[in-house]
């Protein structure tokens, strides 16, 4: 029987350097298995760097990181990774199916004989993300939202335990962002994948997040969602005043603090109230601003 791993990712007093500069240090936290965690921080704070360290692609300057119970880099066969800007970097002459198959064959170079079983797995992954009808299309023929789903299908085709996505919502319109968020929720709930996702706007992901790693002042911290939704913390994090609000419908979102409250103010909550709310109304009930997590739209 497979060993049960409590924590998917564990950093111990970790620091990382690029060139002669320490990007962040004193990373000391554990991300639980089965969680959906955001990595949050302004540009250049080291979010992508953190994922690369978890994949063993960049060495730590000090400390340690283990992933799925093993030293970073040793468990990569169980990790699906969607790099930042993947969809603009990949060869857009590939068909959707060929791209997804790369997740099994590992390289885009050379002609790979593809087995019937591999093709079946690719079809299953495409079906899961809702693009099976796009299999023969070249990436250049697909919209950004569909390409992002191709990228996710490629990352999940090998049935990873951990899925890491670097800004999967960037450049997507609201409907596509919602579709990707919904997809991540299903991967987590239905397939039990642990998910880590870099995002600048938490709103679309709020309903599914269980916690966040936030990169602040050169240190990564991990907090569960009740703590993250603290307006003071978010304000510090975004470098501008933000507030967590809920609408009368129960939608919850993070918004810049208005200079002047208008005539029909949204409910403003203290951090403690938000924590309670979020805690009790977690996942199935709560949904993001304008979203409806139980109702996928394709
Ligand atoms: N190849 C490299 N060599 C040297 N320094 C680098 C390299 N890549 C990135 N850096 C530096 O490391 C820091 C962290 O970069 P990283 O890409 O991890 O940030 P990020 O949080 O993902 O930013 P963004 O939100 O823009 O994607 C940046 O200051 C960047 O300048
Ligand atoms: Mg990045």
Express each pLDDT in 7-43 by its tens digit: 999 999 999 999 999 999 999 999 999 999 999 888 8
In a domain, 274, yes or no: yes
250: in domain: yes
Centre of ligand 2 from the C-alpha of residue 265, in Å: 35
Domain boundary among the residues 197, 228, 259 is at: 228
Mean pLDDT score of the chain: 81
Instruction: Determine, yes or no, domain membership for 104.
Output: yes
Does residue 84 line the site of ligand 1, with CB under 6 A?
yes
C-beta 47 within 6 A of ligand 1? yes
DSSP strand pairing (36-40 vs 211-216): parallel
Q: Of the ligands numbered here, which is closest to the C-alpha atom of 200? A: 1
Nearest to 194 by CA among 4, 23, 1: 4
Answer yes or no: do 236 and 159 share one domain: no
The CATH number assigned to the domain holding 185 equals 3.40.50.300
Task: Supply the angle between the helices 231-238 and 271-280 in degrees, to the nearest 10.
Answer: 100
Same domain, 36 and 88: yes
- pLDDT in the model for residue 277: 45
Tokens of 153: 């299908």
Tell me how far the alpha carbon of residue 3 is from its chain's centroid: 25
201 with 258, same domain: the answer is no
Which is the closest atom of ligand 1 to the Cα of 50? 18
Q: Is residue 298 included in any domain, yes or no?
A: no
112 lies in the same domain as 214: yes
Same domain, 202 and 264: no
Residue 127, pLDDT > 50, answer yes
Q: For residue 212, give its domain range.
A: 7-228
The verdict on 276 and 199 lying in the same domain is: no
Least confident of 139-148, 175-184, 246-255: 246-255
Question: Is the distance from the beta carbon of residue 45 to the nearest atom of ligand 1 less than 6 Å?
Answer: yes
Last residue of a domain, one of 211, 228, 245: 228
1 occurs within a structural domain: no
Sorted by sequence, the CB contacts under 8 Å of residue 203 that are 6+ apart come out as 253, 254, 288, 289
**Rounded percentage of the chain residues whose pLDDT exceeds 70:** 72
Count CA atoms closer than 13 A to 59's CA, side-chain side.
3
Please indicate, yes or no, whether residues 209 and 234 belong to a single structural domain of this protein.
Answer: no
The preferred substitution site among 44, 55, 198, 238 for testing ligand 1, maximizing ligand atoms within 8 Å of CB, is 44
| 121 membership: H or E segment, kind and range | helix 116-129
How many A from CA of 24 to the centre of ligand 2? 14
Segment 216-222 mean pLDDT: 89
Could you say which ligand is closest to the alpha carbon of residue 17? Answer: 1
Whether residue 96 lies inside any domain: the answer is yes
- How many domains does one find in the chain? 2
The structure tokens 């030293």 sit at 71
Rounded Cα gap, residues 294 and 78, in angstroms: 28
């Amino acid at each position: 029987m497979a060993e049960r791993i409590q924590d998917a990712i564990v950093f111990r007093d970790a620091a990382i350097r690029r060139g002669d500069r320490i990007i962040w240090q004193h990373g000391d936290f554990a991300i639980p298995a089965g969680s959906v965690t955001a990595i949050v921080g302004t540009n250049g704070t080291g979010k992508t760097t953190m994922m690369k360290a978890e994949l063993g692609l960049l060495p730590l300057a000090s400390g340690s990181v283990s992933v799925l119970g093993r030293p970073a880099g040793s468990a990569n066969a169980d990790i699906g990774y969607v790099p930042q800007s993947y969809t603009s970097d990949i060869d857009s002459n590939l068909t959707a199916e060929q791209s997804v198959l790369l997740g099994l064959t590992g390289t885009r170079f050379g002609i790979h004989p593809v087995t019937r079983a591999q093709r079946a797995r690719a079809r299953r992954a495409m079906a899961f993300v809702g693009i099976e009808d796009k299999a023969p299309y070249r990436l250049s023929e697909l919209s950004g939202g569909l390409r992002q789903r191709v990228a996710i299908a490629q990352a999940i085709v090998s049935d990873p335990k951990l899925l890491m996505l670097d800004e999967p919502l960037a450049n997507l319109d609201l409907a596509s962002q919602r579709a990707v968020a919904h997809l991540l929720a299903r991967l987590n709930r239905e397939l039990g994948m642990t998910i880590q996702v870099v995002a600048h706007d938490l709103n679309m992901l709020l309903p599914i997040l269980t916690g966040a790693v936030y990169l602040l002042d050169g240190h990564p911290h991990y907090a569960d969602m009740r703590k993250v939704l603290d307006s003071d913390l978010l304000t510090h994090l975004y470098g501008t005043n933000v507030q967590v609000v809920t609408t009368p419908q129960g939608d919850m979102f993070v918004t810049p603090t208005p200079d002047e409250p208008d005539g029909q103010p949204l409910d403003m909550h203290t951090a403690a109230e938000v924590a309670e709310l979020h805690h009790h109304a977690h996942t199935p009930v709560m949904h993001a601003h304008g979203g409806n997590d139980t109702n996928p739209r394709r």
